[in-house]
Chain A
Amino acid sequence: MLKKKICMVGQFGVGKTSLVRRFVSSIFDDRYLTTIGVKIDRKDVSIDGKSLTLMLWDLAGEDDLAELNVAHLRGASGYVLVADGCRACTLDKAAELQQRITRMLGPLPFVLVVNKADLRDQWEVQFQQVAQYGWPTFETSAKAGSGVEEMFLGLGAALLRAHPASEVREP
């Protein structure tokens, strides 16, 4: 079975863990539980008739106390940059992380996710702010489930197209 390592990165509290949990277990829990270190999940999916195991590395959100450990992305086939639509600063953080990851590991396939679409009326992040980057972007709601599967499967399909036969990349 093909395996692809996908990392979830972004500022703390944007919903990385909730997105994975929604995708893997179809569960959403309103309580906030911060991720420490790395949380690893796996999900078997079928894309274009191909079976694929997504290894989902949910990396602790960056905060003022601790920087993202980019080393955890080694061996990843791609990553998901997560921002919270209600906090404009999280989009800036996502853009900053993308630059840092590219600088340290070279270009890797990724998608930008603006999460918390269920709180759309409270969003600070504007369409133009997102569009300026020209990145593949998904609006998701881990709470309502909207856009989550499309995003993971979309990234999975892109990874398959990029490296059709490869196993999880050797670190």
Chain B
Amino acid sequence: MIPSAQLDLLAALGYAVFERSGAGLFDLLGASPAWLPPGPLTEVFPFLEVFLLDAEEFWETSSDHSKLVSDYWTQTDARGAHGEDMHFCAIAVAGFRKLLLIERTRHRFEQTQAFVQYAHQTKMAHDEIARLSRELERATQAKSEFLARMSHEIRTPMNALLGVAELLSETPLNKEQSEYVRIFRRAGDNLLNVINDILDFSKIEAGQVELECIAFDLAGVIQGAIEITGIRSRAKGLCLNSEIRADVPARLMGDPGRLRQILLNLLSNAVKFTDRGGITLRVEPDPGRLEPGALHFSVRDTGIGIPADRVSTIFESFTQADVSTTRKYGGTGLGLAISKRFVELMGGRIWAESPPGEGSTMHFTARFDIAGPAPASEHPASKSPASAPLGNRALRILLADDSEDNRFLVRGYLKDTSCILDEVENGEEVLEAFRKGIYDIVLTDAEMPVMDGYTATRAMRAWEQERGRRPTPILALTAHALKEARDRSIAAGCTDHLTKPITKTALLEALSLYAPEHPPSERIHVAVESWLKPVIPAYLKKRKADVAQLRLALEQGDFAAVRTLGHQLAGSGSGYGFAQITEIGATLEESALAADAVRIRQEIDTLDLFLNNVVAE
């Protein structure tokens, strides 16, 4: 027997004490606590159905005075004197007698609950922050995608607008018309700058900007920025100077493109806000940081200056010194914010000084690594666009673009060259044409119906590989301006990525840069009957003579001679196994009848190319 004093103590502590008298049978020892509902234990406390399974096993196996404690349980149908939930805990005690203690617990339960609740709420708040952060990331991503899409949609028609304006400026115009075209082009360029700024800024905001780390000549970057800004500063009658201190390293490692962008931004702002005097760009070692590659750049002007209360805010997004500034001088107000972020990415800072009446000076610092001297290969001679102009090279170019306007533009850009342009409207067509194996260069848009440019490029590369052919330069010509788009083009197998809108100069430079230096060495294999093989070389040699004759006839405008030669080619080609010669001959004949000199020239070039590359097997 448990002494009644001990039972009283347990009751005072909130326990009901039962003794297990048989399987599922329990006798209450001592008085029944007020909170204990009447009835069989497992009906009153369904929780015990589970706990007693463990308790029975515990009583069977434990012989000492250890105890088995249950989890807390709360029963909402058993309520306290004030209608509150009641919480319980059961304890099985082993030993000479098998005891089951049920405790109505309150303080311990509440303490545990407070502790766990604190942990849960902290975790949930953390999860909520993480969720909001993911949501923000998604929203930023969506915004970037939207901007990229809008940029693409704006650039596509801009390509036609600016390109046609360029073509128009090359036609005979009177003074008034020239002025209109000039304004047209300048407005287009400005619009393009705005789009580029917005794209840059959205990328910075989304944390997607990564700086390059390549070796470059600092003087070259400075020179380039000065040359570009020089056009406008000269027009305004301003002096524009640059000074690089002798102890500044000549060759650096970093991102020359972004550095140039910062300099251009500061210089063009200086030109914009200065009406008389001059602008000086100065580079010196950063006095605040004694490292060889730490530099301090400053752009000083004699312009209108910046009000003292705005000096510190001009680097914030969409901020110019005055709202009226935007109206008077234009600009998105993003240029300085973009420059600030680039400078920070370069490990520096940017600030402005503007003592009243003394113009303003924009300063920035940046850290670069020092690069070794330029290897000889960094001074390309043969591949430089300037030293290898397109000249009269009769490149055979395949253009794929679904926009008639953009095809018109490329046609216009090439009209004064000797290039032969074939046009197709989608990826499937470009692939089909490419398989003829006669093109020196392919220009392809990215987004086209039926098959996009990326898929087509991959297929063209695969076709070349299967045949062991040398890769043809494939240039993506798209309105996608972001670096990812460029990466995507290159990953698909493009040789380079040109961005619309493209100027005539840029297109011709790219063609000149990537055109194979020699006529395409890819051989065109044609199967001929074995008995014909001995006569083939003589036949082809005569056709080469035909090419010379055709060119002469065309020069003299002798379409009758072209027609006769064409007819002969058409008649003989297939007989020797060269269906293509027959096809070219027939086209020449037709074109001569129509007196279509352009087409005749194209066909003669095609014939020339074919004869240079054909191999009879």
Chain A interface (Cβ < 8 Å from any Cβ of B): 5, 12-13, 24, 32-42, 55, 60-61, 63-65, 69, 71-72, 74-75, 86-87, 89, 122, 124, 171
Contact = CB atoms under 8 A, between A and B. Distances in A.
Nearest to B116: A34
Interface in B115-143: 116-117, 119-121, 123-124, 127, 131, 134-135
B545 interface: no
A15 to B, nearest CB: 12
B75 A40 contact: yes
Given A40-B76, A75-B50, A124-B134, 5 more contacts: A33-B113, A36-B74, A39-B76, A63-B120, A63-B123
A24 B85 CA distance: 15
B49 A37 contact: no
A1 B146 CA distance: 62
B121 A71 contact: no
B75 A36 contact: no
B449 interface: no
A36 B113 contact: yes
A24 B113 contact: no
Contact of B72 (A38, A74, A89): A38
Nearest to B73: A38
B494 to A, nearest CB: 34
Contact of B74 (A32, A40, A75): A40
A74 B119 contact: no
Interface residues of B, number: 30
A39 B47 CA distance: 9
Given A74-B50, A75-B50, A36 B131 contact: no
B120 A124 contact: no
Contacts of B123: 12-13, 63-64
A37 B86 CA distance: 13
Contacts of A71: 50, 54
A35 B116 CA distance: 9
Interface in B121-173: 121, 123-124, 127, 131, 134-135
A69 B47 CA distance: 13
Given A36-B72, A38-B73, A171 B49 contact: yes
A37 B90 CA distance: 12
A161 B613 CA distance: 81
A171 B53 contact: yes
A38 B120 contact: no
B466 interface: no
B71 interface: yes
B61 interface: no
Contacts of B119: 63-65
A24 B76 contact: yes
A39 B89 CA distance: 12
A13 B135 CA distance: 20
11 contacts: A32-B121, A34-B116, A36-B87, A36-B113, A39-B73, A39-B76, A40-B76, A63-B120, A63-B123, A74-B50, A87-B127
Contacts of A87: 127, 131
Contacts of B124: 13, 32
A24 B49 CA distance: 22
A32 B120 contact: yes
A33 B131 CA distance: 22
B119 to A, nearest CB: 6
B242 to A, nearest CB: 54
Contacts of B120: 12-13, 32, 34, 61, 63
A42 B77 contact: yes
B80 interface: no
B46 interface: yes
A58 to B, nearest CB: 9
A111 B119 CA distance: 28
B132 to A, nearest CB: 9
Interface string B69-112: 01111111100000000010100000000000000000001001
A38 B73 CA distance: 5
Contact of A38 (B47, B53, B117): B47
A118 to B, nearest CB: 16
B53 A65 contact: no
A25 B112 CA distance: 26
A10 to B, nearest CB: 13
B49 A69 contact: no
Contacts of A34: 113, 116-117, 120
A20 to B, nearest CB: 9
Contacts of B70: 37
A40 B127 contact: no
A39 B74 contact: yes
A24 B50 CA distance: 23
A86 B131 contact: yes
Contact of B117 (A32, A37, A74, A124): A32
B273 to A, nearest CB: 47
A65 B77 contact: no
B134 A36 contact: no
Contact of A33 (B112, B117, B127, B135): B117
A33 B135 CA distance: 27
A13 B117 CA distance: 10
Contact of B50 (A41, A61, A171): A171
The 10 A-B pairs at the shortest CB distance, nearest first, are namely A37-B72, A37-B71, A39-B74, A34-B117, A38-B73, A12-B120, A36-B113, A34-B120, A41-B76, A36-B72
Nearest to B110: A36
Residue of A12, A36, A122 with most partner-chain B CB within 10 A: A36
Nearest to A20: B76
Given A41-B77, A55-B46, A36 B54 contact: no
A64 B116 CA distance: 11
A106 B120 CA distance: 30
Contacts of B87: 36-37
Contact of B49 (A35, A63, A75): A75
